[in-house]
Amino acid sequence: MRERNISCGPGAVRPLQEHFMDRQRKLMDCILPHLEHGTPFQDFINEGSCNFYGAPVAIIVTIDQAFSKSRLVDVGIAVGYMVLAAHNMGLGTCPIGLISAFDEEIREMLNISQEKDVVMGVAVGYPDPDSPINLASSDRAPLQEVVRFY
């Protein structure tokens, strides 16, 4: 289960469609040249995600099981604003969905109630301008690729 979560992305229930895979490949292409020689991309993501890329602060986002799954939208909105607010303060962030595959371990380590689900984490810290990986920058998909106008 964990392996599936890690290789398909947390929560993916079937292989992703080609346009999602294409986006993933483009992200890989922009990161790979900045990785230490020979580091496999997937190892970088998996290991980096599990140690919050060495960030000094890791936020664990949970939701009480009393809420319906549709309330995860609210969690996403809250995390989105949190990330923007952090950015405004000069901080860098990386949302980490992958850690939801390790919810039991996290719950035990942090003594989180069984009534809460671990949704995701967010790594927070000041970006290191001297780190080669921070030279990697993804492009933006054109609007017409991701929005359908009626």
Of the candidates 55, 60, 98, 122, which one interacts with ligand FMN according to CB under 6 A? 98
The backbone region for 57, taken as left when phi is positive above 0, alpha when psi lies in -120 to 50, beta otherwise, is beta
- Looking up tokens 């998996």, which residue turns up? 46
Nearer Cβ to ligand FMN (50/112): 50
Token pair for 121: 């984490």
Of the candidates 49, 55, 102, 122, which one interacts with ligand FMN according to CB under 6 A? 49
Nearer Cβ to ligand FMN (17/111): 17
Nearer Cβ to ligand FMN (37/140): 140
CA dihedral 127, 111, 69, 7 (to 10 degrees): 60
Strand duo 57-64 + 116-125: pairing = antiparallel
Of the candidates 61, 96, 118, 122, which one interacts with ligand FMN according to CB under 6 A? 96
Q: Which residues bind ligand FMN (CB under 6 A)?
A: 27, 45, 48-49, 94-98, 120, 138
